Amino acid sequence: MTKKSHLHSIVLTLMLTTNMAFSAPLEQIVLDGNKRVESETILSYISIKKGDEFSDDSCDIALKSLYATGYFKDIKVNRVGQKMVVKVEENPIINRVIFEGNNKIKDDVFEEEIKIKQREVLSPFKIQEAQQRMLEIYRRFGRYNATVHPKIINLTNGRVELVFEINEGDVTNIRKIVFLGNKSFSQAALEEILKTKVARWYRFWASDDVYDPDRFTADQQELRKYYYDRGFPDMRIVSSQAELTPDKQDFFITFTIEEGEKYTFDKPDVTCSIPKVSNDDLKKMLIVIEDHPFSGSVIEASVTRLTNFLSSKGYAFVAIEPVVKKDPKTKKAKVTFEIKEGPKVFIEKIIIKGNDRTRDYVLRREISVHEGDSYSSDKVKHSENQLKDLGYFKKVEVQAEPGSAEDQAVIVATVEEQPTAEIQVSGGFSTLDGPLAQVRLGEKNFMGTGRYISTEIGVAKRRQDFSATLVEPYLLDYNMSGTFSIFSTRSTRFQTFTQKRTGFSVGVIYALSPFWSQSWNYNISFEDIKNTVKNNNISPYLVDQKGQNVLSSISHTIAYDVRNSSSKPSAGHRIALTTSYAGLGGSIQYLQNSLSGSYYKALSNDVTLILKGEVGGLMKVQKKIRAADRFFLGANSFRGFEYGEMGPRDAINKEALGGTRFWTATAEITFPLGLPNEFGVSGAVFTDIGSLWKVGDSRTYVPDPAGMPNQRIRREIMNDKHYTRVSVGAGISWDSPFAPISIDYSKAIKRKKQDNEQKFLFGFSTRY
């Protein structure tokens, strides 16, 4: 053996001996310093156990594992022979988490957002994480110069109080928005479409003049859509910057735009691989018009119409791809809609997000598809409209996302809650009653269950009303709404009589089809009518209604409704036929019918045409028809006239008697007033036309003061024949930050001399 080989053997032997010495079995783990943390807990985090191979690496691994628990402020792990000695210094326990200096954001918001809780072990990492999260919350509210400083106050027995000292600072507003490269549209026009607004004195109630990164991102999409819908398919945003001033008081926002060329539509085309479907029929569904400006929204609407048409023909699973080919020379864009029959897709599951208050089942019962159903874009869109019509949510979005397999889809309904409790205050002024007011307290989504409750009180010189209503939208878990109401009224409608009415009503309404509905209602009331005038100058048409009566009636309504919204419609129409019969017991008998209809059409994005009409008739069954049961018009039902003060009257004392026949028609146009959309101010012009006639009892006789003692003459009625009345007017409504407010001014331009006018009508309501 050479001298060199002998040396290598010695080194190898020493290395093996050393390795054996440092990796011998572990004999014992010694713990020191732990007071609250159980020894078993510490040992569970140390991967090595007695009898395992023990080395210096084992100490490093144990050290890292124990630090990762967050239980300890300091840890030392040493090897003493074949023993592992672990010495720890425990982190204190948090006695309380205190927030100081926060006035704009409440404690419970922070408590929910940060991960530090009372009686937890203090962790420096969690403190830093909580500090950053709190700053993020303040930035979300536009306070970029807010500061948060954590402070630890030591108590006895290893406890501490964690205090976050907060300086909220001022709101960081948007000082200026600048557009560069916009040649076709003005600065003002582009600013108008953004959700982000420049700070102005009149926006003291709003928060959209505060920088929000999510809103800033959404604004970029709005800009693209604006250009894309107005003939600029190549528009792109070169850069978008939100710069914070050094003092963190303001933001300057800059959008650099490259508009591209403006295009118009070429003649559209359709290619379809589905057999037995005519291309000519498909082309009729397109709203792409040659030579009109290119518009992405028009293309999307055409795809929707094609999808709905094919779905109605039984082809629910189709893939429609609009292919756009642009000719830079002619500035024409040809759109070809390529249609292929796609594979069947089924609903794997339905996910609901954002319903912090409203219970899941309230939303699920409005969704037209169920898990396991075949996918239908019509039903998904209908579900979105149904959720919007509830009025519970500020935003609603229902979308289909890919499922776990190619033939599976997940329906995701995302909502944003909004206040559903309401205080509505309405008022007016009439020449006879003077001021009149009505207050209604309501909750459309009681405790998140979808139930509706309301209480209403009305006060005027000649009328006082009280009512309370409960609506169960899904009675007994059926798609049938149930209503229960109690009411009490006191009125002196006829000046010479006081009428008190107390009772209750119950009713149900249910759908016969997606557009047809039917309702039934039963009403019973106990009435007491007394004479308040001690003279003989009372109309004989009113005298016979004195005394106590019981009104027991049932009514039926069938309605057809294809409006795009039940709360704020801008398209579609509704027709309803109602029949009421009084005589199910009680002392009052009559048969009443009415037919009403409404039509809505958007003349442009912000201008809507509204047409309404109603006709009604009242027939006696056995007894005379009382004045209290006749029709009366005015105020909201016929603007320009005081309620109950138009139509037939007693020829002698001029008392209004109501009528058994009526019709009304309304034409109205609502429009913006040229102010920024954020003001929420709109105007309206309208005309109301109609008539009220035929008291129904023209054979009332009274003693003839100039005749023989037993001689009686007929008491005449004036204005008892059909006579068309007309009013015109204008109104302003303001969706103010405090409450929607409306003021109408109307003038009767065709009326009878005895009709009383009411020119102003004021309305106010608020949500909380």
For 158-214, what is each residue's pLDDT tens digit? 889 999 999 998 888 889 999 999 999 999 889 888 988 887 776 666 677 788 888
Which pLDDT tens digit goes with each residue over 205-264?
Answer: 667 778 888 889 899 999 999 999 999 999 999 999 988 888 888 899 999 999 999 999
Cα atoms in the Cβ-side hemisphere of radius 13 Å centred on 615: 1
**How many helices (H) and strands (E) are present in the chain, helices listed first?**
12, 38
Q: What is d(CA 215, CA 364) in angstroms, rounded to the nearest whole number?
A: 29
Say which CATH topology domain 264-341 has.
Ubiquitin-like (UB roll) (3.10.20)
- Which of 6-15, 553-562, 606-615, 731-740 has the least mean pLDDT? 6-15
Say which CATH topology domain 20-90 has.
Ubiquitin-like (UB roll) (3.10.20)
pLDDT of 495 reads 60
pLDDT of 13 > 80? The answer is: no
Homologous superfamily (CATH) for 346-417 = membrane protein fhac (3.10.20.310)
Which pLDDT tens digit goes with each residue over 60-84?
Answer: 888 888 888 878 888 888 888 888 8
Pair 203, 197: CB distance under 8 Å: yes
Q: What is the mean pLDDT of residues 300-317?
A: 83
At 431, is the pLDDT very low, low, confident or very high (cuts 50, 70, 90)?
very low
Q: What is d(CA 50, CA 29) in angstroms, rounded to the nearest whole number?
A: 7
Q: What is d(CA 609, CA 16) in angstroms, rounded to the nearest whole number?
A: 96
Give the CATH architecture of domain 173-258.
Answer: Roll (3.10)
The winner for highest mean pLDDT among 44-58, 421-435, 748-762 is: 748-762
Q: What is the mean pLDDT of residues 412-428?
A: 83
CATH number of 421-767: 2.40.160.50
Pair 446, 422: CB distance under 8 Å: no
pLDDT of 650 > 50? The answer is: yes
pLDDT of 17 > 60? The answer is: no
pLDDT of 579 reads 97
The residues, ordered by sequence, that sit 6+ positions from 441 with a Cβ below 8 Å of its Cβ are 421, 422, 423, 454, 455, 456
pLDDT of 120 reads 84
Q: What is d(CA 352, CA 633) in angstroms, rounded to the nearest whole number?
A: 46
Distance of alpha carbon 544 from the chain centroid: 50
pLDDT of 499 reads 82
Q: What is the mean pLDDT of residues 129-136?
A: 92
Beta strands (DSSP E) in 284-376 are 318-327, 332-341, 346-353
Nearest to 166 by CA among 260, 234, 252, 98: 98
The residues, ordered by sequence, that sit 6+ positions from 172 with a Cβ below 8 Å of its Cβ are 142, 143, 144, 145, 210, 211, 244, 248, 249, 250, 251
In the chain, CATH 3.10.20.310 covers 20-90, 93-167, 173-258, 264-341, 346-417
The residues, ordered by sequence, that sit 6+ positions from 195 with a Cβ below 8 Å of its Cβ are 208, 215, 218, 219, 222
Which pLDDT tens digit goes with each residue over 669-705?
Answer: 999 887 777 677 899 999 999 999 998 765 555 555 5
pLDDT of 688 reads 97
Beta strands (DSSP E) in 370-515 are 393-402, 408-417, 421-430, 434-446, 451-460, 463-472, 480-491, 497-511
Pair 113, 133: CB distance under 8 Å: yes
Distances (CA, A) of 640 to 610, 686, 687: 18, 11, 10
pLDDT of 131 reads 94
pLDDT of 79 reads 84
CATH number of 93-167: 3.10.20.310
- What mean pLDDT is reported for the chain? 85
pLDDT of 135 > 80? The answer is: yes
Which pLDDT tens digit goes with each residue over 339-391?
Answer: 988 777 889 999 999 998 999 999 999 998 889 888 887 788 889 988 998 88
pLDDT of 432 > 50? The answer is: no
Residue 412, both tokens: 């995701």
Pair 549, 587: CB distance under 8 Å: yes
- Which of 135-144, 501-510, 615-624, 649-658 has the least mean pLDDT? 649-658
pLDDT of 739 reads 59
